[in-house]
Structure 1
Amino acid sequence: MLFLSSLSLFAASGASGTAEVAPDLTMTWVGFACLFIFVVGYYFVAAEEKYEIDKAKPALFIGTFMFILVALYYALNGLNLGLVHTEAQHLILEIAGIFFFLFVAMTYIESLIHMGVFDRLKYNLVSKGYTYRKLYWVTGLIAFFLSPIADNLTTALILSTVLITIEKTRKDFLVPGAINIVVAANAGGAWSPFGDITTLMAWTAGKGTFTDFLFLFPASIGGYLITAFILSKFVPETKPDFDASKEVKPEMAEGAKVVMGLGVFTIFCAVMSHQVLHLPAMWGMMFGLSLLKVYSYGLKRKHGKDHFNIFHSMAKIENNTLMFFFGILAAVGALYFIGWLALAVVVYDPAVLGPTWSNIGVGFLSAIVDNVPVMSAVLKASPEMGLDQWMLVTLTAGVGGSLISFGSAAGVGVMGKLHGIYTFGSHMKYAWTILIGYIASVAIWYVQYEILGFYHVG
């Protein structure tokens, strides 16, 4: 009877624990300690170039250490550790979705590099006699219009790979080109429900229909073009060194076109798995990876084991980028669990800032922290706002991530691809051009939504 009573009490406590709300720890020693650790760790992430330390190292340290401190505080004060366990599980699911999505996207990119696809694309672009500035515009516009279909991260990874194959040393082309791709990918993803994680979150939360997001196109492309135009003035007008008579036209490996087709189909599977089957987007990505593995087996049987080995492509993935995402999302998750991010929602009160200025501020906050948890905090708080304001916060959370190099998934991905070239410092040198474009995007939104009232069908 004692055993059964204990078991029933344990079950009851477990049931009540699931409904229990986590206490606000912002004004406790662990709250201030975690905030301090985050700021210090973030400094070393930002100063990666100065201290020659990979950004994944401080990010992974603060992300894991902060949650350990929170769990220790709960244990010392007799609080319900089940809350920490549940929060960690939810966070792992969120991180795993992004982690495996990135893993598959990077595998496809490395496979396409191995099969000579980007060398061929580089040859096709450079052989046309385009100047660095014209190449800058071509890659940027492709990024803007590919991002709504592929998603901003995959787009940024693909186009940054094209950049580094065109030119490997000239920073006066690579840095503005990389910034251009990041801004274009984030702006392009802002007006598509599945172009960015933040727009996807707002769409699935029912804050707008599919067509509602398409009305953000003028603000997205307007802000991007203004930034791109100003930034293009820093790109040289000279042509890359290229002699068509001496250069051998690179040929793509057998099966490269099929791999490209599988890549497009994999993105389609990711969208369909989430929107139609209500599975995580990474489920469709992993299915696409399985198809690539099956196809690689067929190529091995036909052309030999050295023709294409998918595991070699996996081995070349930038694991530091994946570790950075794990660390930074865990750190921000800890801040959210402690209660720091929830404090930001107070500013939506009309007596403080009101929704318009608060949503504009979300763009700056998403650049400093990360647009995903910031958007998550806004959606969970769900302040009373109309469709126009929900579209504004979707725009600012997406576009605002470009203000700092690691403020968005696209920026982090490009930092990994152009390691040592596209850095926090090199990005901030031109950040003022992005700020002008950000202000322009908000201004276009204001004219379209608040003055003209053009943002809803019917």
Structure 2
Amino acid sequence: MATSGAFIRACPLPRQWFAPRGGGGVTGRRPPLRPALSPAAARRRAVVAPPPLRMAAPNERPGSSRHTGGDEDAALAAAVDTKVRATVEASGSDGGGDGNGAGSGGVVPQTSEAAATAAVDAEVVSSNSSTDILRLAAVGGVCSVIAAILQHSWVADHRDATMTTIFVLGYAGIILEELLDFHKTGVALLMGVGIWVTLMTASPDHALVVSELSEQVSSISEILFFLIGASTIVEIVDAHQGFKIVTDAIRTNNRRVLLWAIGFITFFMSSVLDNLTSTIVMVSLLRKLIDDPKERWLYGAAVVIAANAGGAWTPIGDVTTTMLWIGGQVTAAATIKGLVIPSLVSLVVTLGIMSPPLRGDVVRPSTSGNDVMAPRGKLVFWTGLAALLSVPVFKAVTGLPPYLGMLSGLGVVWLVTDVIHAGEEDREELRGSAAVSRIDTSGVLFFLGILLAVAGLESAGILREVAVYLDAHIASREIIAAVIGLVSAVVDNVPLVAATMGMYSLDSVPPDSPLWQLIAFAAGTGGSMLIIGSAAGVALMGLEKVDFFWYFKKASLPAFAGFAAGIATYAAMATLHLPALGTAAGM
């Protein structure tokens, strides 16, 4: 083996250590070597670093001044990586000098530390690659088996069973997302496509299935375009720190007063924004108001409950309510009149249970000054708010679908940012083009997969059969809506509401009926009973690392009490014919 003479001069190791195993006066097993350095690195180490620890040579006497001791030998030997040693030893060849005074006796190869470490990393990567290949092979095998089954004649004879099985398995994959380490968006997309493939395979009239699919995609796209427009507007406002106008209005430190203030601000903010965005904004606010992370958990739970309650009573406050509004099941004015009071009662009852144990003042954190509002941030905030609020007005005036009103509002906000930041190259991230790249595209695709799957079940008539079964065994449709609310604490409310929309047609259940309004309320507020029951709760869990069981102990009972109080309030208003309260309040 050969190496540089500079390396030998830089390292205080006996020269005989570098002899081949068969000569050079070294007998017995050669001690392990550390990775060799390049000549330049060795010279630098010799100048700036003290001599490294080494093991004693086999022929050194214990009393020698160069002996470092058995403990150091053992420590150093344990610290040397086995794979690195193997790489160093395997990279050389016997005999020959290098022209730098190494001689012909053979020395350690001129291998850099980076090369030796890279070899170890390469083996780790190789091991991970083997695991990845196995996972990919398993997924590919499952998909191949499913594809083969879908092409079998058995599918045509058992169409409904096959489609139901795909939906159940897909939904199980979505629920077990964390355990399986698969993103729910991919599972939802495969589930939606698989159901339509099954429907096409089992249908004798392929043209009819294609026509039905086109009609369903047309309806689904309205929801997706609406969500994309709303998310982009909110992202633009947030990039300008426009929500500071709302958050800076809170000046109290009293724990009880702060809880009620946070709850009501979130409630009304969520009626304009979606509950997920409202939760993210308010959690950011809590970090500026409360220093203790564990104390923020309780206020964060109140934010989730208030965001879900506030999003239930307006057509743009929650995805499920938006779906019902776009689908024609509810109208904006009737939804606000019928649900604002039950939603408000739900919030008040919940906060009333949570607030008594709170006493004293919170400790605020020191300000960092990193959340300064961008130039013209107030203008962007008010423009974005006006764009969101104008959507119901746009639909009422033009008669066009709501998503066009949302897209027109986005266009206005986008152009405003282009005008006010024209020529400011350092503020490109504040424009609409940058905001589009930051929206949750995976969430939009998840909704696409879910809605495709539910649309397939609806087209096959399966959901209609479920509705007939429920009507035959449950006397009240209002009870069905309440049960959907309870189930939404565990199961995502988007597919629940989508399935219910497919179960009952507008001919059998007209728009703004108690069933649709209660579904909007129950699916929204019912998700507050568990932290995993809504997008707002999941966001809180991710942002503040809130423990599932802590939320269950501290917030589930107040959330359930608010949910039940809201249902009872709606039932009382319907029984006593009190929807005129909303009209008396000017709504």
TM-score by length of 2: 0.60
Deviations 1:280-308 (A, max 9, x none): 21212211222222222223325345353
**Residue of structure 2 in register with 1:311 after alignment:** 433
The one-letter amino acid of 1:217's match is: V
Offset at 1:62? 1.4
CA deviation after TM superposition for structure 1 residue 35, in Å? 2.0
Instruction: Provide the rounded CA distance (Å) in 2 between the counterparts of 1:342 and 1:424.
Output: 39
| Whole-Å separation in 2 of the counterparts to 1:438 and 1:242 | 34
1:144 pairs with 2:144: no
C-alpha separation between the residues in 2 aligned to 1:299 and 1:174? Answer: 37
Q: Distance in 1 between matches of 2:405 and 2:511?
A: 33
Counterparts of 1:51-90 in structure 2, within 5 Å, are 51-74=180-203, 79-90=204-215
Identity %: 21
- Report deviation, 1:107: 1.9
Q: CA deviation at 1:145?
A: 2.5
Shift, 1:263, TM fit = 0.8
Contact residue 186 and residue 399 of structure 1 kept, 8 A: no
Partner of 2:341: 218
Which whole-Å deviations, capped at 9, do the CAs of 1:364-406 have from their partners, x for residues lacking one? 466645354245235516447898xx23541243333443479
| 1:160 is aligned to 2:284 | no
Amino acid in the other structure paired with 2:461: G
Larger radius of gyration: 2
Within 2, Cα distance between the matches of 1:222 and 1:173? 25
Indicate if the aligned counterparts of 2:380 and 2:417 stay in contact, CA closer than 8 A: no
Give the whole-Å Cα distance in 2 for the aligned partners of 1:84 and 1:195.
34
Higher alpha-carbon deviation: 309-318 or 235-244: 235-244
Contact 2:313 2:339 in 1 (8 A): yes
CA contact (8 A) 2:254 2:361 kept: yes
Equivalence for 1:435: 560
**1:49 matches 2:178:** yes
AA aligned opposite 1:311 = S
- In the aligned structure 1, how far is the partner of 2:281 from the partner of 2:579? 36
User: Take 1:339 and 1:157, find their aligned partners in 2: how far apart are those partners?
Assistant: 36
In the alignment, residue 309 of structure 2 is paired with which amino acid? Answer: A
Provide the secondary structure at the position in 2 that maps to 1:306.
helix
The match for 1:32 is: 161
Q: Does 1:329 pair with 2:429?
A: no
* CA–CA separation in structure 2 for the residues paired with 1:364 and 1:216: 18
Do the aligned residues in 2 keep the contact of 1:115 with 1:253 (CA within 8 Å)? yes
Mapped to 2, the partners of 1:147 and 1:305 lie a distance apart of 32
* Range that drifts further, 426-435 or 300-309: 426-435
- Pick one of 365, 372, 375 that aligns with 1:242: 365
The answer to which structure, 1 or 2, has the higher relative contact order (CA under 8 A, 6+ apart) is: 1
Residue 275, structure 1, aligned to residue 399, structure 2 = no
Q: Does 2:382 align with 1:261?
A: yes
CA RMSD of aligned residues (A): 4.2
The offset of 1:63, in angstroms, is: 1.9
In structure 1, the partner of 2:217 is: 92
Distance 2:522 2:158 in 1: 35
Unaligned runs of 5+ residues in structure 1 are 1-24
Aligned to 1:297: 418
Output aligned runs, 1:200-219, within 5 Å. Answer: 201=324, 205=328, 210=333, 213-219=336-342
Aligned runs of 1:403-414 on 2, under 5 Å?
403-404=526-527, 411-412=534-535
**Helix, strand or coil: the match of 1:226?**
helix
Q: 1:135 deviation in Å?
A: 4.8
Q: Which amino acid aligns with 1:53?
A: F
Aligned equivalent of 1:446: 571
Give the Cα separation in 2 of the matches to 1:353 and 1:81: 39
Does the CA-based 8 Å contact 2:458-2:503 persist in structure 1?
Answer: no
Is the alpha carbon distance of 1:170 and 1:64 closer, same or farther for their aligned partners in structure 2, counting shifts above 3 Å? farther
Offset of residue 198 of structure 1: 3.8
Aligned positions, number:
419
Deviations 1:59-110 (A, max 9, x none): 2221222222222222xxxx22233223322332233222222222222232
Change (3 A) 1:253 1:165: same
TM-score (normalised: structure 1)? 0.75
SS at structure 2 position matched to 1:216: helix
More helix by share: 1
Q: What are structure 2's unaligned runs of at least 5 residues?
A: 1-153
| 1:346 counterpart letter in structure 2 | V
Instruction: State how far apart, in whole Å, the 2-side matches of 1:422 and 1:34 are.
Output: 37
Q: Which amino acid aligns with 1:83?
A: L
Q: 1:357 is matched with which residue: 479, 491, 509?
A: 479
Letter in 2 for 1:336: E
Structure 1 match to 2:579: 455
| 8 Å Cα contact 1:202/1:394 also seen in 2 | no
Distance 1:343 1:364 in 2: 22
Amino acid at match of 1:218: I
